[in-house]
Amino acid sequence: MNIALIAHDKKKDDIISFSVAYTHILKNHQLFATGTTGKLILEATGIDIHRFQSGPLGGDQQIGAMIADNNLDMVIFFRDPLTAQPHEPDVSALLRLCDVYQIPLATNIAAAEIFLHGLERGDLEWREIVKERQQKEGTK
Which of 2, 1, 11 is closest to 91 using CA atoms? 11
Query: For the residues 115-127, what does the mean pLDDT come to?
Result: 91
Give residue 55's pLDDT band: very low, low, confident or very high (50, 70, 90).
confident
The Cα 49–Cα 31 span in angstroms is 5
Reported in sequence order, the residue ranges of the chain that DSSP labels E, i.e. its strands, are 2-7, 30-33, 50-51, 74-78, 105-106
Check if the beta carbon of residue 37 is closer than 8 Å to that of residue 17: no
pLDDT value at 131 more than 90: no
Domain 2-138: give its CATH superfamily: Methylglyoxal synthase-like domain (3.40.50.1380)
Mean pLDDT check: name the lowest of 8-17, 43-52, 64-73, 83-92: 83-92
pTM as predicted: 0.91
Mean pLDDT, all residues of the chain: 92
Catalytic residue positions?
Answer: 60
Confidence of residue 114 (pLDDT cuts 50, 70, 90): very high
pLDDT band at 140 (very low <50, low <70, confident <90, very high): very low
- For residues 78 and 62, what is the distance between their CA atoms, to the nearest angstrom? 17
State whether residue 47 is helix, strand or coil. Answer: coil
- Reference 36, options 52, 17, 20, 19; nearest CA is 52
What is the Cα–Cα distance from 50 to 18, expressed in whole angstroms?
A: 18
Where are the domains positioned within the chain? 2-138
